[in-house]
Structure 1
Amino acid sequence: MSFDPFGDFETAGYLQNVLRLKDPSEVKESEHLSFELSMEDALDYLSKKASIDFESVRKVHEILFSDFYPWAGKDRSELVPHLAVFKGSQDDPRHTVFEHPLSIKRSVDYALELASNKKRFKDRPGDVMGQLAFAHPFLDGNGRTILLVFMELCYRAKFAIEWSRTNKDDYLRALSLEIGDPFKGYLNDYLKPFVVEIAHRDEWPEMIGGIKGLDGLDKEDISYESLSNPEVQHIYNTYRAQLLD
């Protein structure tokens, strides 16, 4: 587990966790325990919000992970505004580039705007999930935070995704394709067969507890690089140009 954007892994453990854990299995276990113990509080918070906005997303992350990460609820633009975050090696053409830290809020706002058109959202759920995943607001815990927010958005649009029927590898493959080439339908095509009628909120904790591996791309070959690096600047410029094509 080499992801060390704070530069203090040896003294503070992985991402400055409160237990100063370094072993990957111990980190994952403690982090997920924090999630499980706080999940119902986060869902309750979302259910009471009149509308979901960027601050709601930050608050969900804080509720879920503040027992393990002291910085929970703070996004990358606040913690590491000078770093770009990637999944996979930048030398690999299949690598995933996440949103520029200073554009995270804009990307989340856009995803929420897409979800506000309820008919379109039900027809194209992958557009919203893909945009939220691309934003990658936090240094860790993105997948689980986004999942809870996404489920609430689906509920308000009067549908649900039957996550128990999805497959981790197939989902992550479609998600990676969606992030790399957005709004082309990769994730829509994957999720549409699992769209079902709205599920009662009481069923959500058990439903989420049964999901295997849907915590997104958090710890899978995550790397970072200075935004001052010309190669990184070229990656973002190329990605932006691709979106405008």
Structure 2
Amino acid sequence: MPDKYGVGEDAYCYPGSTVLRNKLDIRDETTLSEAEQQLTAIAADDVEFNPPPYDLAYLQNIHRRLFSDLYEWAGELRTVGMAKQDTRFCQPAFMAQEASKIFKRMATANWFEGMNRADLIVAVADAYSDINVIHPFREGNGRSQRILFEHLIMNAGFEISWWNIEKDEWLLANIAAYNCVLEPMEKVFKKCIGHAIV
């Protein structure tokens, strides 16, 4: 029975179900989604900002902090291939290597420090889109990645808020970026990235 990621039956789900195995033994997808939202919102307040360097391990730690109350595999890289509609994410065997390349590019760009807002928007949209294609976790990629990029953007000296972004706008920007069209993602970050922190 394929789930929203098209992985079908896998060890992450209860047998004959698309519901992810979880510590609360919730067997209903809607109830699990609500529990996820509530628990990760609480956990997000405890994720401390750290300056760079950032890497895949840093992103894994964010995921672990957000989801450890719910999933045994919180913070662990997924072991199954995944796709959403026409979007195929990086295969597990290549995730660490590909993520390393992206983080190295950001390090070479000095974590975007010293960029003006316009250049930061373009750089962040590109890096975010690349990491999204890695999609390192079975669930919770977006939430973990947004916190990573909050840290990255704040370290670069700018305010960041996701509140003005509609769910459909976010989804379409990610799909466009997967197809190498970055303008919608740049528009998203233009709304999200605020004033320079003084």
TM-score normalised according to structure 2 size? 0.80
Contact 1:171 1:190 in 2 (8 A): no
- For 1:199 and 1:167, locate their aligned partners in 2 and report how far apart those are by CA, in whole Å: 25
How many residue pairs end up in the alignment? 184
- For 1:143 and 1:106, locate their aligned partners in 2 and report how far apart those are by CA, in whole Å: 20
Compute the displacement of 1:167 (Å). 2.2
Aligned to 1:170: 169
Letter aligned with residue 99 of structure 1: C
Aligned to 1:72: 74
Compute the displacement of 1:27 (Å). 0.7
Contact 1:98 1:136 in 2 (8 A): yes
Aligned to 1:127: 126
**TM-superposition CA deviations, 1:86-127 (whole Å, max 9, x none):** 002xxxxxx111111112123323333343421354433211
- For 1:8 and 1:122, locate their aligned partners in 2 and report how far apart those are by CA, in whole Å: 37
Are the structure 2 counterparts of residues 121 and 189 from structure 1 closer, same or farther at C-alpha, using a change threshold of 3 Å?
Answer: closer
Identity percentage of aligned residues: 22
The answer to whether 1:106 aligns with 2:97 is yes
RMSD: 2.6
- For 1:13 and 1:96, locate their aligned partners in 2 and report how far apart those are by CA, in whole Å: 19
Normalized per residue, which structure has more helix?
Answer: 1
The answer to whether 1:186 aligns with 2:183 is yes
Q: Report 1:77-92 matches (<5 A).
A: 80=79, 83-88=80-85
**TM-superposition CA deviations, 1:13-42 (whole Å, max 9, x none):** 832201222211111011122202211222
Letter aligned with residue 188 of structure 2: L
Q: Report 1:130-149 matches (<5 A).
A: 130-149=129-148
Aligned to 2:54: 52
The answer to whether 1:15 aligns with 2:20 is yes
Aligned to 2:157: 158
TM-score normalised according to structure 1 size? 0.66
- For 1:57 and 1:197, locate their aligned partners in 2 and report how far apart those are by CA, in whole Å: 25
